[in-house]
């Protein structure tokens, strides 16, 4: 009887084991050792929570969820989950014959709660979506410790996504930097060179500190590796920052370009400076605002696309104002450029004050459409915002359009002809007066488009255009009169140079330096970068 009984028992145990195997690791009971910590004080509970997070699996998830809801408790040696009236064993999930009232529930304090959130992150690191995994990895790497290393290793083995892998590798290296084994520290110091995070650099810099005669890091090989890694990080951060500066320079340049293209055309054709050009920008921006208001009231579902709808509105609104200016005032001042300067300044005063009285003196609010908000993060702290990227693209679009108009259409040919030689163009039958009006309309319309672009990144108010007239004229001067290519190079060059100077000397000094540079430049090349070739008697 005894042996038979023993055999039976053995079979039963094997059967159970097989069942457990079939069900897979998720079904397997938790190792009771993992749960033992819950009997102790807060510190041992925190350790138990961490261990559960590292172990992973559905059972661990279940236990942690119960703890979070305040349903985990202990009775004697057992750890139990209270579920209404039924009580289950936390390790196996089986019902336990204990009354719910007898269970001594575990209280959750802030420390436990922190540990819980870390454990949750650990769990989602293994099983979440990509975004969740990335967030979990970043969360964990901030408070990484030795206990998390096995988890990182497991996650790395399963992880395919490069971004998550990068975060995990760095987090592991970070932990390893504090390891006792110099080989491990060396490996970590090398791995950290991949980072572009200034915080990682600080971490490495700590190793190189010298306290009296002793280094923070005793091993020379590790120190050398750390130095190399710091240099690599510095290079990467510097590159990202340079890209960021070039980008903001491009973005400033494209705004300048939009403001200056129109001015270049009108100045080229008529030889007058339109001091009210900035106000045409303002008209374009207000037209955009008007379109936004209309969309808010009548097409709220399409609000995201109001900017696109505003393109023709801004163009024609500004072009209309431009034609009115040309017909009513400038036409009568041909041949008197200095007086035109004063008259257009008067026009700008009138336009600003009119807008102040009609719309109000405060700035109006224009919202970025959702597809233009956010940005691309190059490295820690260097973000390329979408609205600026879109504006650069828009400037290119406008430029191509203008170029096509100037080079491929009859009107463009007339405009070029009048720019080069007005009397001769008139002699061969170009209707110079009509070309003037149309060129002015196009120039004003482009200014309106510039206003539309500006409205997405700057304040829109009645006096917004005032700051642009000097800058855009500088672009025209620098680029050479009537030269589209010149305007493009000058605008981008000015934009990038002023952004670099700004980083070096501050915004005001940068502005002053740029102005001084232009004044000096004109000494050397009074006709701009791209001068029209030819000989003219009058100077």
Chain residues binding another protein by CB under 8 A are: 269-273, 329, 331-343, 345-350, 352-354, 357, 418-423, 470, 473-474, 477, 480-482, 508, 511-512, 515-516, 518-520, 522-524, 526-527, 531-532, 534-539
Considering the complex, what minimum distance in angstroms separates the CB of residue 418 from another protein? 7
Considering the complex, what minimum distance in angstroms separates the CB of residue 347 from another protein? 7
- How many residues in total does the chain contain? 539
CB 35 within 8 A of CB 3: no
| Euclidean distance between CA atoms 471 and 262, whole angstroms | 13
Considering the complex, what minimum distance in angstroms separates the CB of residue 474 from another protein? 7
CA 186 to chain centre: 34
CB 176 within 8 A of CB 184: yes
Nearer to another protein, 104 or 339 (CB): 339
Nearer to another protein, 160 or 535 (CB): 535
Burial zone of 161 (CB within 10 Å; 0-12 exposed, 13-18 middle, 19+ buried): middle
Nearer to another protein, 288 or 344 (CB): 344
HSE-CB of 325 using CA atoms within 13 angstroms: 33
Q: Report H helices in 75-192.
A: 110-127, 130-142, 149-158, 162-177, 182-191
Considering the complex, what minimum distance in angstroms separates the CB of residue 279 from another protein? 11
Considering the complex, what minimum distance in angstroms separates the CB of residue 265 from another protein? 13
Nearer to another protein, 383 or 513 (CB): 513
Considering the complex, what minimum distance in angstroms separates the CB of residue 499 from another protein? 17
Considering the complex, what minimum distance in angstroms separates the CB of residue 517 from another protein? 11
| Euclidean distance between CA atoms 55 and 293, whole angstroms | 56
Considering the complex, what minimum distance in angstroms separates the CB of residue 354 from another protein? 8
Nearer to another protein, 297 or 539 (CB): 539
Considering the complex, what minimum distance in angstroms separates the CB of residue 528 from another protein? 8
Nearer to another protein, 394 or 530 (CB): 530
**DSSP bridge pairs for 87:** 82
CB 258 within 8 A of CB 453: yes
Q: Which two structure tokens, joined as six digits, stand for 87?
A: 């009580």
**DSSP bridge pairs for 110:** none
Considering the complex, what minimum distance in angstroms separates the CB of residue 472 from another protein? 10
Burial zone of 403 (CB within 10 Å; 0-12 exposed, 13-18 middle, 19+ buried): middle
What is the DSSP code string of 304-342?
GGHHHHHHHHHHHHHHHHHHHHHHHTGGGGTT-HHHHHH
What is the DSSP code string of 419-455?
HH-HHHHHHTT--HHHHHHHHHHHHHHHHHHHHHHHH
By 3-state DSSP, what share of the chain in percent is helix, strand and coil, each rounded to 5? 75, 5, 20
| Euclidean distance between CA atoms 255 and 250, whole angstroms | 9
CA 277 to chain centre: 32
Which residues lie below 8 Å from residue 415, measured CB to CB, with a gap of 6+? 265, 269, 406, 435, 438, 439, 442
Nearer to another protein, 32 or 426 (CB): 426
Burial zone of 58 (CB within 10 Å; 0-12 exposed, 13-18 middle, 19+ buried): middle
Considering the complex, what minimum distance in angstroms separates the CB of residue 42 from another protein? 50
Buried b (16+ CB within 10 A) or exposed e, 284-320: bbbbbbbbbeebeeeeeeeeeebbebbbebbbbbbbb
Considering the complex, what minimum distance in angstroms separates the CB of residue 453 from another protein? 23
CB 263 within 8 A of CB 481: no
């Amino acid at each position: 009887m005894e042996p038979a009984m023993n055999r039976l028992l053995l079979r039963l145990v094997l059967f159970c084991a097989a069942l457990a195997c079939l069900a897979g690791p998720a079904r397997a009971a938790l190792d009771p050792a993992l749960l033992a910590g819950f009997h102790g004080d807060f510190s041992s509970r925190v350790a138990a929570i961490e261990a559960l997070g590292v172990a992973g699996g559905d059972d661990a998830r279940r236990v942690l969820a119960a703890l979070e809801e305040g349903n985990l408790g202990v009775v004697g040696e057992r750890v139990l989950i209270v579920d209404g009236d039924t009580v289950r064993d936390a390790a196996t999930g089986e019902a336990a014959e204990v009354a719910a009232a007898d269970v001594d529930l575990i209280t959750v304090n802030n420390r436990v709660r922190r540990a819980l959130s870390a454990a949750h992150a650990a769990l989602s690191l293994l099983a979440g979506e990509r975004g969740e995994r990335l967030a979990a990895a970043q969360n964990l790497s901030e408070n990484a410790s030795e206990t998390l290393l096995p988890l990182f290793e497991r996650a790395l083995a399963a992880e395919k996504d490069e971004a998550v892998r990068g975060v995990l590798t760095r987090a592991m290296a970070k932990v390893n930097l504090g390891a006792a084994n110099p080989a491990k520290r060396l490996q970590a110091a090398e791995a950290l060179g991949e980072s572009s995070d200034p915080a990682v650099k600080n971490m490495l810099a700590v190793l190189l500190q010298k306290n009296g005669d002793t280094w923070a890091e005793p091993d020379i090989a590790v120190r050398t590796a750390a130095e190399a890694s710091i240099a690599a990080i510095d290079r990467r951060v510097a590159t990202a920052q340079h890209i960021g500066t070039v980008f903001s320079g491009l973005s400033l340049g494209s705004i300048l370009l939009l403001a200056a293209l129109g001015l270049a055309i009108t100045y080229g054709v008529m030889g007058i400076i339109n001091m009210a050009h900035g106000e045409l920008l303002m008209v374009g921006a207000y037209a955009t605002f008007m379109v936004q208001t209309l969309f808010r009231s009548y097409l709220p579902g399409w609000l995201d696309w109001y900017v696109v709808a505003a393109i023709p509105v801004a163009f024609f609104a500004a072009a209309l104002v431009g034609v009115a200016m040309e017909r009513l005032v400038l036409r009568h001042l041909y041949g008197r450029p200095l007086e035109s300067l004063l008259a257009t300044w008067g026009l700008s005063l009138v336009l600003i004050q009119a807008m102040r009285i009609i719309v109000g003196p405060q700035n109006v609010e224009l919202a970025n459409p959702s597809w233009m908000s956010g940005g691309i993060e190059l490295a820690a702290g260097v973000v390329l915002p979408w609205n600026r990227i879109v504006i650069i693209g828009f400037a290119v679009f406008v430029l191509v359009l203008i170029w096509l108009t100037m080079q491929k259409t009859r009107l463009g040919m007339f405009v070029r002809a009048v720019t080069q030689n007005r009397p001769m163009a008139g002699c061969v039958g170009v209707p110079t007066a009509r070309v003037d009006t149309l060129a002015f309309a196009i120039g004003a319309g482009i200014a309106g488009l510039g206003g539309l672009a500006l409205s997405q990144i700057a304040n829109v108010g009645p006096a917004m255009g005032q700051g642009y007239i000097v800058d855009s004229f500088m672009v025209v001067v620098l680029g050479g009169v009537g030269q589209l290519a010149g305007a493009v190079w000058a605008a981008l060059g000015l934009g990038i140079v002023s952004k670099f100077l700004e980083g070096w000397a501050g915004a005001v000094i940068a502005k002053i330096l740029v102005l001084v540079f232009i004044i000096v430049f004109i000494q050397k090349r009074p006709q701009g970068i791209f001068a029209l070739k030819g000989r003219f008697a009058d100077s």
